Structure 1
Amino acid sequence: MKWQGRRQSDNVEDRRSISGGGKALVGGGVIGIIILLLNVFGGETGQQIAPILEQMQGGQSQQTETAAPLSEEDKKMGEYVRTLLAYNEDTWTKIFAEHGMTYEKPKLVLFKGAVQTACGGASSASGPFYCPGDRKVYMDLDFFEELKTKFGAKGGDFAIAYVIAHEIGHHIQTLMGTSSKMRQMQQGKSDAEANKLSVALELQADFYAGVWAHDNQKDLDVGDIDEALSAANAVGDDAIQSKMQGHVVPDSFTHGTSEQRMYWFKKGFTTGDIKQGTTFEDIR
């Protein structure tokens, strides 16, 4: 993406030089992997479960607080993230205004190891997520190496852009009341039915990421959309379950299949129309 020289957002909290204030998972292990899978790309349910799973590790958890200078590469990545957030701010401020609404900008927190949020403590194993309690996106950039090496995504800078746009999608859902309505709809439902609603929410966030990419396509490089689709494909519920347990359980899906995630991102990118994000009525 052609991002150098563009405006950078002031709404990034860079906590990478001082990480801690939460329980860091030492060595990761199976529990760390479970937390990662529950939280990939903004799983709010996983955020609630993660502290319980961390307690299961007992002595393997510890409080950490370290200070370390950022490398030049770290600084460059911080600039890239600030620029991506600015792109999202500009896009959604414009789209909201076109629909007679006012966009409230979220914060984005960069951390290493562990972090405290209004949704509780989280480790880097949680993956990127959005916390509606404080309306902040949380990211440990080391996740993207995991995405490439463990889940088979192509990697590349635009995978980061896709993830940020997806998490901002969850912020859009908070502002528009979609998230709270979804939680109300889940009450009294079976686990399978509640999971379908969770899938609809996640796919809509993928759709919004596509809308963002549509609005900024003049600044995209050749291969950027392929990188986003590769990331979406890698974190489909069916792809993750097949890789981790050798079989899939559709009723347990919470984020959507690889096909669904790619479909809704592409639909957002093709249409650029937020009214087309009808995942709750039309889960493909």
Structure 2
Amino acid sequence: MRWQLGRRSDNVEDRRGSSPGGRIAIGGGIGTIILAIAAIFLGIDPSIILEESPQQSSYPDSTITSSSPEEEELVDFVSVVLGYTEDTWHKIFRERGETYVEPELVLFRNAVESACGYAEAATGPFYCPRDQKVYIDLSFYQQLKYNLNAPGDFAQAYVIAHEVGHHVQTLLGISQQVNNLQRQVDQVSANNLSVRQELQADCFAGVWANRTQKAEQILEQGDIEEGINAASSIGDDRLQRQSQGYVVPDSFTHGTSAQRVRWFQRGLQTGNIDECNTFATENL
């Protein structure tokens, strides 16, 4: 991926040298197990599993002493990718006569406090609609490469683009509509709504890749395959089969590998967010 000449975003908040000022909401036992499973799934709304009312705390500036040159390059990469998402979504929203509000991206180590609650690094990257921020511990990219077998810089960019896709859903009012509907239906139906929301975020990530490629020519040979592989690696069916040896479709919250690839490719091929209406089709 050709990213080095890209614009760096001003919306990166570095908390890697800070510690959250409250306790982790989930301790040992079943909560830890649920959190570990959720960590593998991208894009969760942590307010579902994290403490609803976090304590207030401050994040004083502190010197980061354990950062390697490799990690600092990754920080630079994340800033560029976030900048690409800003430029692309500003353009898409302007075309629709709307205004795009940029999210912040928070870098943290080990644990973090968000408006959605406290989260450990094991939660994985997430978007919090309450403060409109994306959160990521950069160690997740090692898990993506080695544990999920999804290496490559475009796979890493896809992670950010997916989380920003959730921000787009918040700006468009989709997230609130889904949350309202989920309160009115049974768990299986609520899970189905979650799947549709996640697949739409995958489609939005594909739209971002399409439009950014046309504007900036960022893609190199093999990048698309990296993105598709990452989408496939985090399908509910694949993850459940790996972790427990069987799948429970009614418990899916993010979609199968095939579904995640299909919707990412739809956005990638069309570059049109109107093609991402996962809520208007029976066949996902």
TM-score by length of 2: 0.89
Helix, strand or coil: the match of 2:112? strand
Q: Quote the offset at 1:231 in angstroms.
A: 1.1
Helix, strand or coil: the match of 1:280? helix
Query: What is the aligned counterpart of 2:103 among 82, 106, 126?
Result: 106
Helix, strand or coil: the match of 1:137? strand
What is the match of residue 49 of structure 2? 49
1:5 and 1:259, CA in 2 relative to 1: closer, same or farther beyond 3 A? same
Alignment pair present for 1:180 and 2:179:
no
The answer to whether the Cα contact below 8 Å between 1:200 and 1:279 also exists between their aligned partners in 2 is yes
What is the match of residue 225 of structure 2? 226
What is the match of residue 116 of structure 1? 113
- CA distances 1:130-167 after superposition (whole Å, capped 9, x unpaired): 000100000011112112322232x1111110010000
Helix, strand or coil: the match of 2:142? helix
Q: Percent identity?
A: 50
The answer to whether the Cα contact below 8 Å between 1:23 and 1:122 also exists between their aligned partners in 2 is no
Distance 1:29 1:243 in 2: 21
5+ long unaligned stretches in structure 1: 53-64
Structure 1, 219-228 or 265-274: larger mean CA deviation = 219-228
1:188 and 1:107, CA in 2 relative to 1: closer, same or farther beyond 3 A? same
Helix, strand or coil: the match of 2:84? helix
Query: What is the aligned counterpart of 2:187 among 172, 186, 191?
Result: 191
**Structure 1 or 2: larger strand share?**
1
Distance 1:198 1:5 in 2: 36
Helix, strand or coil: the match of 2:106? strand
Q: Quote the offset at 1:50 in angstroms.
A: 4.0
What is the match of residue 56 of structure 2? none
Alignment of 1:1-284 (within 5 A): 1-23=1-23, 32=32, 34-39=34-39, 40-44=41-45, 46-51=46-51, 68-69=64-65, 70-153=67-150, 155-217=151-213, 218-282=217-281, 283-284=283-284
Residue type at the aligned position of 1:48: I
Q: Quote the offset at 1:33 in angstroms.
A: 5.1
Residue type at the aligned position of 1:81: V
What is the match of residue 62 of structure 1? none
The answer to whether the Cα contact below 8 Å between 2:232 and 2:260 also exists between their aligned partners in 1 is yes
The answer to whether the Cα contact below 8 Å between 1:169 and 1:209 also exists between their aligned partners in 2 is yes
The answer to whether the Cα contact below 8 Å between 1:196 and 1:253 also exists between their aligned partners in 2 is yes
5+ long unaligned stretches in structure 2: 53-59
Q: Quote the offset at 1:23 in angstroms.
A: 4.5
**Structure 1: which 4+ aligned runs deviate by more than 6 Å?**
none
Supply the RMSD in Å over aligned alpha carbons. 2.3
The answer to whether the Cα contact below 8 Å between 1:117 and 1:131 also exists between their aligned partners in 2 is yes
Q: Quote the offset at 1:173 in angstroms.
A: 0.3
